[in-house]
Structure 1
């Protein structure tokens, strides 16, 4: 995965309160929580409701998923409780592993904070907090990171302030100055700090950054652009149309995933329109057809990465990375999921011969970066049905009824005979992720 724009960060000082909340439920009165208490301040609660909007006015909580590189855990943001809002997790599972202790943490473990997490009595658990102060790990902080375009996920990490070299891989200094400033606002008595971030655009890949350096040093822009390969040219075009700004974080990385994009330098800004004109002429947009995309070259590593994104409910593919090979790799992962969902059969005709099947996007690839991998935005169709759907000869209603646009079919009797059998029929339902009515409406509006 690539770094994504950061929208909000919550930071908690790891003192007695956080320790007792995340260690586990031990009985008594102090180790009984399965949540971290949040602020009651109006600006905080308003921000929380905007970032994680409840399904309706009366909803007291919103389900979320805690994520870290090695796993996930279900949880919730509780807006209404006896005392104040809080971040909750499943009692039976305990706190997210990224916030828990482990005897020998390292960069490869989910956990960061050293300590024995297995005590069953309060005094021993309290002792682990005391031992932590002499472990060389320094002062821990718990982070919850909200990324743009992921409305139901929090990426959780723990960082260590002033650790010894043994724990340098989790040093708070690896975070941007803005995050370090949040840590300085906290203490044992005032444990929480948070901030919204204005971030957006698309992060430049290594290839894009190298291309920008070449252009900055070039005395012949057109000749330099002509030297780029198609993937670099298309990625550079997409980046220059929407350059990154603000703060980014790569959720596949543990502690070193932060990025602050460098603004375009003046030499590039001064010739931006000319650059884009040459780039668009030299590297026209990759074909968006799903059938064509299924025949494009792929990267096995990218296919695996996109499959993981689908599994994690992250369906965005940014235009900066939508080169020919990336488009093919994304389609390969998407197609595998869609075909499995529809039992390797066309949802209209029932055709099951692999060579005649396509994973068709409902909202086209070109229309929405955020849902390019969403299984609910795909239907398994035969080649003919895919082309008919792509071109608006067949429409699918919200209730999955298939309607043929006979005006478009016109006097083509052979095509009419092929489409008559499906007119008025129903799309076959997949095993999971049925088409979303909103996506179907968006597709109909395009025709």
Structure 2
């Protein structure tokens, strides 16, 4: 244990820990002097980091190399054993991502590929297994050869032991609206069960917006708040509700499914079978949209992206989108009065504009007291919010089996 001048315990930074691990992975056992040279870190930083990892049992001292010089050569440090790892598979409407993390939550490798989750032949478990194997292989020495647990994040309401909520109804609507020949097999059961059978390790699955919520609450912009609503505004729209650190799913896993709140009675058709749902009106799927950009359907992601680059032609669409969001979120604020609302998936420039407009919508619909008591913030974890939410679930799963 390393203490500072005041006697307080001084922990090394995550950057320093990564640097030391990377050097040992790439070069094998090293002396402290060699670690200073390889990492570029200060002598005191290397000493503190190495001692902390020794205390935690991650590193061990080994016999020094024999030399022809005088005196005893410096001791070397190396991994005490392979660093344990877990895996995360993140499925969106258009991409599949495989991420490898240590048991401390450090992302150490990842692979990704374009993926059509609604294609009849799609199999994210098999494709994800291949990506995860590639990511683990990228690590090299010093890490376990296999993951000890896996989390799977996906769009759509999820119930443990069942899988996607309302899959049979969704199949009919997909065939009618999108024109595909029904749902892929992976949507007909619980992906967590399939993962456990495929890998032979503990596995969990969860809705992607719920994972983003857990990630932001435990590691990001929602930390310290007791009631947090995290709104996902990337590759779809959704929300996750975390109360006192625990995810609230609802009776059928539908809590936070704001994508399917009706905001326009005569609006465009939605995959859920109704019309005018928030997802359809904002065109977060590839179905349709109320506005146009250069005579093409205006998807919400396109609006945000072009607004980020200063395109004034999309400001009207941006404000319209915020008004629709404000209707739904403002009503939720009346019912929930959360400490914080975190918007995930926006860059700082567009996010500041959205927050300013959304604050006005919330106060107009929920009242001044509710509006002033609720903090609006941008997500702090970026594209890793769902990854860290998956880690939260895996950490709990592994702790329960210890």
Q: By the TM > 0.5 criterion, same fold?
A: no
TM-score (norm: length of structure 1):
0.27
When Rg is computed on C-alpha atoms for both structures, the one with the higher figure is 1
TM-score (norm: length of structure 2):
0.29
